[in-house]
Structures are given as structure tokens and as C-alpha cells.
A and B are shown apart, each in its own frame.
Chain A
Amino acid sequence: MEFNYSRQNLSRKEQRLERAFGIVPGALSWLILLSMITLSVSYPLVAAVLIIAFEIYWILRLVYMTIFLWLSFFRLSLDEDTDWMKWIGEIDRLKHKTPPMPSGGENWSFKQKIADYIHRKQIHALKTSNQEIPGSENIYHLVIIPVAKEAYGIIKPSIDGILRGSYPAQRIVVCIAIEEWADELVKKGVLRIQDEFRETFMDFHVIVHPSGLPGEARVKGANTTYAAKSATQYFRDRGIPHENIIVSCFDADTVPGSDYFACLTYYFLVTSCRHQASFQPIPVYNNNIWEASSFARVLDIGSSFVQMIEATDPEKQITFSSHSMSFKTLIELGYWSRNIISDDSSIYWKAFLHFDGHYEVVPMYVTLSMDVTQADSVMKTFVNVYKQKRRWAWGVENFPIVMRGFLSARNIPLKKKMKHGFKLLERHINWATWPFLLSIVSWLPALFGDREFFSTTVYYSAPQVRSVIFQLASVSLISCILTSLLLLPKKKVKHHTLRKIRHAFEWLLVPVVSMALGAIPALDAQTRLMFGRYMDFWVTDKFRKM
């Protein structure tokens, strides 16, 4: 389906639809919160019963998420020692119809056996799909790194990370997309990196994105699109088919794991519908995890958990932050949106609508490490984290566009539209309302109740029910703590054990952090969308102790 995935150049009818759908998430969030507050004051008994029902729903949802967090972590641990290049070789043998190597799994651990089993299943699925397999020798990687304010010290570790992998660097083209308005110091840093690594990769470009191009807003997508267009011509000039190129759009602070490109290549090859799929790794925030403030650290680890849970449901997963996709597909879609802030999620929806719902996200159980937002003071860090989370929550801007797309998409089954539309809306509503409902609203009936309410058994039972639920929730909290400890960088730092113990206690900040830096920014973003006050892109300050 051809669909203008944008808020610009819309007909009047589409503009009205855009505004109408834009109001929905914020209106629903406010409606939930305000109606619960009003009920607590006017009908505290009804409010108390609804809150009990919500808390039971919440704990079961937490159980659900915890189970899949464990499963995802287990899946991640399965692929820790995977020799991706070897598996790529097996796909090549499949392509060339040579007999497979013996598996030789006599001395394998339980995890290795399961990993191998999954791999065999994927190979089998590829074989039976009868899809053409490109062969790893034909695959190239394009890595686009948009830069605006990041200094040399932030970008270099990313390049080092790309280089460190088992995948040959000579098959990787790195493209730093720098904004024209960037600082001279930043530009110098980028050029310095180019000089250092020019000979190491297949090629190393620095593309300067001019400011003020027509049809563009000041968003990251405009910068990366400009660089991607330049790369399109580059590959065309060298006769490299675009369908053999995998493009990865990284943030400037993204440090890929050593297996990232090998793993990506594997998944690209083993996925039969590789040109109708995005490849999503697990983002972790280990670059400066120990220098970060407690609340920022807990919040970003929580974000990693969300992505790990999402990875277990690829049917409904959408792309987030740094991810990869077929370059051919990217070109076919018209590249990233040049006037939408949430370029990471919007490219998924763009593809979903373009391919009439036949687009998926392939989860890759390999990590990409990024920075926890940090500044030189706690207050500034708090403000930066708030702005960053608000920008993430601004992904709600996709909702009205997606809904308009669904209205036009005749070929996407209604059930699929409803499923995805509901999940998109529900995700944002939950983000903005749950912390308020759990932390504040649940106490309101007891605060505002009248004598009649105080003389009911509900008034006394509700705290008891809540206590049991929160005790059960502590099990989930403990599992989060354990998982976060296991996800921490293995590299030991000064006072490593003490830091880990402190980090375990930091999780007690969750109720406060989830509200101040989760729900409030989300509500802020939805309210802005509701009133048509569209946000500008804000570049997160990267701050790392050298």
C-alpha cells in the first residue's frame, strides 16, 4: 500500500483524522486518571472495587511479563557462546547444496544443545520456504551513525565495537551522518575518526547533512535519510545490489557486541522474508552503567527488560532505538521519515503499512550497549532523563498516523489492525497511567471516603488485598534485581561487589522513578499531542568519564 507516512501534506479530511486520532491517547489517559480521582471522591466504594480489580490485573500482568523476561534472558544466554560464523557457513552450505557438517554435539552443554536445536529448526524452515538464499559472501553491511553533539570520545568506542566483532570489517561500510549545525569540535572529532579508521573498513564516509532542506524537520531521521541516499548511490556505483546490503542505524553511543554483525548476518540469511523484516537486538545500557545516577540506571535497565519481553512476541514487537533492516526495503519505503521524531518506531509502521501487514520484527538475542543518560550534576541528569523519556514516549505520535493508515489499508485483515492498533494504544496508556494508579490513586478512596465508606468491609479489605498483591510483586522485583545483576557488564570495576549490592537496593526506587520519569513524561508527551503541540527533537547529552 502506498501511504504518506507523515503529518505533512495531508488533505483536510486526513488532517481532521490526524487530529482526532492524536487526541485519543491523551484523552484516554486523562480520562482514566481523572475519572478514578472523581470516583474516589464521589463514590469511594466503587473506586475501591475498581482499584482492586486493576491491582489483580496488574499483578497477573506482572507475572506474565516476569515469565517472559526469564524466558528472554534464558534465550539470550543460549546464544552467548554461539559461533555465528559457523552457522552462517551452514547456511552457505545449504545455498550451495553441500552436505552439512556433522553437529558434533557430544560434549555440548544443555544450553548449546537447545541453541543448536533452534538453529536446526530455522535452517529447516529456510529450506522448506524455497526462498533464494543470497550467500554470506554477497552480504555487506552499512552502518549509519547520526552525530549532532557527540564528541570523539563517545563515537570512537562505537567504531571500536564494530571492529571488534568476528565479522570481517572489510564487508562493512561505516557512514557517519553529521549535522551541518554541529559544533566544529564535533566535526573535527568525526574527521579524526575517519582518518583513523578509513583503511580498516570497506569504506568510511562522513556525510554532512545540510540544514533547512525542504520537507524536513530537525529530526534524526532527516539526517540518516540524507546519508542513506548518499550510500544508495555509492553501492549503485559499485554494482552491489541493494538486496545484499543490511543497513544498521546506530546511535552515536551504540557499541555493538562482538557478535552483532555475525548474528545479524545469520538472521538476515535464515529469515526467508528478509526483505519484509527488521532485526532488533536487545539494547543494554552498559557503556557508563557504573557512572550513571541510580535512578537513571534503574530506569534504563527497566527499558532493556521491556525490550527483552517484547522480543518474545515478535508478532507484535516494533523496532526500538538501534536496529537493522534490509537496505533494499529501506529504499523501497522511501527511507526514514524526515519529519517525525520517533524514526525508530515509525520505520516499522511505515513498512507494516507498505507491505499490508506482512512485516515483522525478528528479535536477535544479542546485545547493543548504549549510554545511560548522564550529566555533570544530579539535577541536570534528572532533567535530561526526563526529556529523553518524553522523547521516547513521543512515539505516541505514530498512533494517529498508523490509525489513518489502517483506515486506508484494505488488504490488512481487520483482526490484525485491531490487534496492532490496540497494542500500540494500550502500551502508551499503560505507560502514562499505571504508576499513578498504583502509587497515588489506589490510596484516594481511603483519603476522601466518607463515614459510610469507612464503615464498610471494603475499606478494611482493600489495604489487605493491596498488601498481598505487593508482596507478590516483590517476587517480580527480586527477579528483576537478579536479572539486572546478571546483565551487568562482566568487566570488574573498583568496589565491584559493593556496587552490585548498592544496585540491588536501587530497585526500591522503582515506584518513585516509574512515576517521575516514566508516567509523567509519557503523560506530558500525550498531552502535547492532544493539544497539537508537536515536539522538536532533543539530542540527549552524552557524558562519559574518560
Chain B
Amino acid sequence: MQALRRIIFYVLSVIYVAICPIVILYSFGFVLDPKKKEMVQTGLVQLKTIPEDATVHVESKKFAGKTPVLIRNLVPGDYKFRLHLEGYKPWERKVFVSTGKAVTYGNILLIPENWTKREVSSQIFSQMTPISDTHLMILARGNKLCDYFVFDWESDEMWPLVNCTGETREMNVLKLFTAGGSDVVVVLTACEGKQNYAWIRLEKEQPEIKDISTLFVEEPSMIVWDPGAPSQLFSWQDGYVNRLDIEQGAVYPKFAGDIVGFGLYDEEIYIIDQKKTLRRLDFDKKSEEILLEDPNLRSLLFESKQDVQIFFLDEKTLIFLDSRGSLVTNRLPYHFVKQGVIGWRFNRKKQILLLWMKGKIGILDFSETRKEDEGLFEQGLRVTWIYENGEDIRKCFWANNGSHVLFRDENKVYLLERDPYCGSVLHFLTQVDKGGQITYADETGDIYILEKPGGKLIALKLIPTKTAFSLIEGDETSFWNGTE
């Protein structure tokens, strides 16, 4: 037995000494080139598509597997990949493979050749107002309050905004105020020459409605509230803010006066006063904290700024957007866009801000760390313009969990694929009518289009449902200051 033991031990030791380096070299991509009869270090390409099972062609040769696929042992160089799935447009890319490196396309979204349109509702609508960071949108088929409906795209249900009885039948909607992440809306209506403000919680069975008209002494240019405290409204007009306590039925006029900027986060108020001081206050004004004292920095950030909206992307990242569309953040180098920003969306999971102007779309990656080749002076973050050929970009959305950007430019809807290796690739999706509106829900992978004329609300499936549910990991916050 001892002799046998020794033999087996030595055999296995030899096997280990032989196999281990081979496997490690293989892991690094080394293979034996049969032509050159020497070891060459190769690279690999990973391709994952949504939906899966696309056939793969590499340099016109069909690859054995279907997506998701890992193609190994590629000698360094350029390769042309073509993916095809029946019913979808082919996806092509020229990829450079380098030694020991992996090229990963983990989120290839195949675009249907023909869209399957799903009519969401048989009713005709004239206006669609999605409430960002929720799965709700308000649809209007007329001007009356009774013409307004709530649509939940997650459950695919629709219900009237209010129960149409008595007085509400005659109310005309003048303005609709929404807040991202909140299931509450404030509606300014008019009836028989009298204006009313209604606070409405969007519930299917018994929507909670409160008449808050008495709390408004003047017409605000903006009403904002924190989604976590929807009963505390702030109306902003003429450089001051009133606080409206819905529960108490109380109004605190000039709660914050002489301000140039205002924002809410986590049930606290942030203001920029005339001296450009950034302060934080609680709702009761019992605690106040100055967040930025340095006069030079204050001046640098907020000089000549008016009507600045303050947004928190997360507890450490703020952005300041003024009426001219200039974008400032609390991260170096602070100023990112001088003017023209229409809207933004933030992908919290990946910490990337999507922003757009009329003619271009950019991204600001807050997860970036300092680059080694940056030089002596830190340059900070930079906006990367991923698309600069826009004519009239109105709305942008993160799609496929941040790997794509869906946007509308004039009357066309495009999908911009963020290719980490060769820039962005543009795909045309569909056309909308001139007055039509679009919105997109990444959680379900549906593009919603309100047709005009026609008024039908239809849905186009961009991402198959099965895969879309696996994308629920990401969450977003957003702002859009445009019209459609």
C-alpha cells in the first residue's frame, strides 16, 4: 500500500506541476497557435443580448453558440461581429481584441424590426404627464377635472383622478403640479371664475382630496414638496417661498424670503439667499445650518444666478440648475454646463447623470475616481457628450439599466447605445407625430406614446418583460424642464 501510495502521490504531483501552469496560462488567454507553433496570448469577447439566443457571426463565420456567449482564443486584432435574431434588426460591431483582455458587451439591446403596438386604453387623450420616479402618469382627455385619469404602468390599471360628482364636473384644470417620487398632485382649477387648488393623493379606490385654496394668497410659479412629506408644500414665487401645511391648514408666508435658489431633500429645505449663502433648514425653522460659507466659492458657484433649483442626487451629491439651464454641482470643477440644460436623469445605482440640451446629450459619471494620467492638477469630473447632432432634443431616458439612452429628437425616437469601446451608436426606433408625447418605463421596458392626432395611448415593447424584471435593481431620480 505504501508503494502504491508513493506512486499515486508522484503521479498526481507531476500532473499538478504540468496542469497548473497550463490552466493559469489558459486563464490569461495563452493558447498554442498551430500555425506558428508557439504560445500566443489571446483575448476574448463576451456577448449578451436582450433577448437571448441570437446567432453569432464572427468575420462572416457562424459561431457555434448563441447568445449569451463567450468567444475565447481570439488572436489580437479587429473582428467584425454580427448578431441576428429573427424579428430583430441585426446588430453589428467592429471590435478590437487585445492580448489578455476581455471585450464585454453585456447589454446588447436588439431592436425589433416591426414594433408590436399595444393599445393601453381605448380612450382618447390629449395630454400625458408622467410623474418621474413613480410608475404613475396623468392622462387628460379634456380640460375638465373629470377628464383626468391616473395610469399605473406597473399594474396596467387606469382610474379617474377624482370621482366626478357635483362641483367637480364643472372644474377646468388650469395647471397640474407634480413632484418626482410622489403619489400626490396639486391641481389648480377654475370654476365659475373662481380658482381652486386641490391636493389629491392618487389612490385607486378612494383618492384623498383636500381643498387647499385658502392656503394660497398668490399664484405660485412653482409648487414643490418632498415625496416623504407630501403634506408640506412650498410655493415659490417672486424670490420667496411660502410653506403650506396641509394637515394643519396653515400657511407660513415668506417662510424663506429673498432667495435665489430653493430645494428639498429628506424633509429639509435648502435655500440660496441673495448673498449666495447656501443654508439648510428644517420645516419648523428650528435648526439652521450654513452649508457653504466660503465667499469666494459662493460667488464662483452662484454669481448671477437666479431661480436656482437645488436637487439632491443622493445624500452627498447636489446639482444646481438655474432658469438659463446652467448646471453646477458640488463636485469639482463645480461648473459643468454654462447654459441650455433642459433636463436630467440620474441613475443611482451607477451614479451617472444623464443631461440633455436642445442639440446634445451628455453624461456625468459621479463614480469616477481620479485618473492616474491626469497630471499634477486634479481636473475633476467632466461631462462626456455622447450625442451632439440633435435638432430639438426634448426628452431623454435611461434604458436597459443605464447602458442605453432613449430620446426624442423632434419627431423621431432614437436609442443611443453607449459602447464603451467605440463611442455611442445611434439606432432609430420609431417616429411620433408632431404633437405626440412619449415616456419610457425601464422597469417594464415599454415606450408609451400618446399619439396626436388620434389621442391613443400605445405601448411599444423595447425590452422583453422577462428580462425587464431582472433590471428592477436600478433606481432613478430625474428632472425635466421642457415641453413636448
Contacts and interface: CB of A to CB of B under 8 A. Distances in A.
A457 B100 contact: yes
Contact of A457 (B5, B15, B19, B101): B101
Contacts of B23: 52, 56, 465
Interface in A455-474: 455-462, 464-465
Contacts of B5: 68, 312-313
A61 B8 CA distance: 11
Contacts of A457: 27-29, 42-44, 72, 100-102
Interface residues of B, number: 28
A56 B17 CA distance: 10
Contact of B8 (A48, A64, A465): A64
B16 A56 contact: yes
Nearest to B27: A461
B70 interface: yes
Contacts of B70: 460, 464
A455 B104 contact: yes
Contacts of B15: 60
Contacts of B100: 456-457
Contacts of B12: 60-61, 63-64
Interface string A39-56: 000000000110011001
Given A56-B20, A67-B8, A454 B27 contact: no
A465 B26 CA distance: 10
A183 interface: no
B2 interface: yes
Interface in B1-47: 1-2, 4-5, 8-9, 12, 15-16, 19-20, 23-24, 26-29, 42-44, 46
B183 to A, nearest CB: 36
A460 B71 CA distance: 11
Contacts of A464: 70
Nearest to B15: A60
Interface in B157-196: none
Contacts of B26: 461, 465
Contacts, number: 71
Nearest to A55: B23
A57 interface: yes
A71 interface: yes
Interface in B320-339: none
B102 to A, nearest CB: 5
A340 to B, nearest CB: 30
A313 B1 CA distance: 8
B104 A454 contact: yes
What DSSP secondary structure best describes chain A's contact surface? helix
Interface string A46-90: 001100110011001101100110010000000000000000000
A536 interface: no
Nearest to A53: B20
Contacts of A48: 27
Nearest to B98: A455
B402 to A, nearest CB: 15
A64 B9 contact: yes
Contacts of A52: 20, 23-24, 27
A315 interface: yes
Contacts of A315: 2
Contact of A71 (B1, B9, B27, B72): B1
Most chain B CB atoms below 10 A, which of A53, A57, A457, A464: A457
A456 B101 contact: yes
Interface in A418-460: 454-460
Nearest to A75: B1
A50 to B, nearest CB: 10
Most chain A CB atoms below 10 A, which of B1, B2, B12, B43: B1
Interface string A308-331: 000011010000000000000000
Contacts of B8: 64, 67-68
A57 B20 CA distance: 8
Given A49-B27, A67-B8, A315-B2, A56 B19 contact: yes
A71 B101 CA distance: 45
Contacts of B102: 454-457, 459-460
Contacts of B19: 56
Given A53-B20, A63-B12, A64-B9, A458 B101 contact: no
A455 B97 CA distance: 11
Interface in B109-136: none
A460 B16 contact: no
Contact of A57 (B16, B24, B46): B16
Contact of B101 (A68, A455, A461, A462): A455
Given A457-B27, A461-B27, A461-B29, 6 more contacts: A60-B12, A61-B12, A64-B9, A71-B1, A455-B104, A457-B44
14 contacts: A56-B16, A64-B8, A67-B8, A68-B5, A71-B1, A313-B5, A455-B102, A455-B104, A456-B28, A457-B27, A460-B44, A460-B70, A464-B70, A465-B26
Interface of A: 48-49, 52-53, 56-57, 60-61, 63-64, 67-68, 71, 312-313, 315, 454-462, 464-465
Interface of B: 1-2, 4-5, 8-9, 12, 15-16, 19-20, 23-24, 26-29, 42-44, 46, 70, 72, 100-104
Kindly list the 4 A-B residue pairs having the minimum CB-CB distance in the complex, ordered from nearest.
A461-B27, A457-B29, A458-B27, A60-B12
